[in-house]
Amino acid sequence: MTQQVLLGVENISQLSWGAINGCEAASLLEGFHFNQEAVEVSYGEFLLDMPISQDGNPYHGFGGSPFKNQSGKFEAIFTCPLIEWGRKYGMLRDLSGANSSWLFDEVQRGYPVLTYVTVHFEQPKWEKYPFGLVPVNNHAVILDGFDQNRVHVSDPIDGKYWMAKEKFETIYYSRKMAVSLTK
């Protein structure tokens, strides 16, 4: 039987800062703070340091504004530019493509994992953009706990909660994008 692991990562509410699209930055900063990194950096300062993609492509930087929706933009930042930016603050490891057991292994080792999912863990709503097919209900959370049947996340929209491991894995496997905040 799997024991319960719970790291206890803080929760940063992206909405309380007016960052309706700021989930990746909030999740990343939660993980850094847990690792005692970037502790002097507020979420607002962190958002202002995030690289913005001039072409709106989340594979090049944040594709738009974390504070508003813009027509034709995909307001997100994907793993490669997120890692490049985040390495200014701490150590990161790309787990994209990994089996979910790798994510749980990282948490077991004491490392929070930024995981790309969907808002409220709903089924992905796919749309085509010039850079590819992506879920318009894109979201990022920190995976910071698990037991045999559940996972625990710190969600910048919905707070901290436990949920069914099967539901988490279903949504994670729709893209398999994750970043471990190693020490």
**DSSP states of 30-88:** HHHHHTT-STT--HHHHHHHSPBPTT--TTTSB-SBTTB--TT------HHHHHHHHTT
Here the CATH number for the domain that contains residue 34 is 3.90.70.10
pLDDT tens digit string along 56-109? Answer: 999 999 999 999 998 888 999 999 999 999 999 999 999 999 999 999 999 999
**pLDDT over 70 at 11, yes or no:** yes
**pLDDT over 80 at 2, yes or no:** no
| Mean pLDDT value of segment 24-46 | 98
| Mean pLDDT value of segment 45-53 | 97
Cα angle vertex 34, ends 32, 37, to 5°?
40
Domain housing 157? 5-180
Integer Cα distance of 32 and 174 in angstroms: 26
Integer Cα distance of 112 and 9 in angstroms: 8
- The pLDDT, as a whole number, for residue 72 is 83
- Nearest of 29, 28, 20, 24 to residue 67 by alpha carbon: 20
Q: 108 with 143: CB under 8 angstroms?
A: no
pLDDT tens digit string along 94-151? Answer: 999 999 999 999 999 999 999 999 999 999 999 999 999 999 999 999 999 999 999 9
Q: Which helix (H) or strand (E) segment is 94 a member of?
A: strand 93-94
Half-sphere exposure of 135 (CA within 13 A, CB side): 21
β-sheet bridge partners, residue 128: 133
Integer Cα distance of 126 and 117 in angstroms: 13
pTM of the model: 0.97
- The pLDDT, as a whole number, for residue 160 is 98
**pLDDT over 70 at 34, yes or no:** yes
Mean predicted lDDT score pLDDT of the chain: 96
Total domains present in the chain: 1
**pLDDT over 80 at 1, yes or no:** no
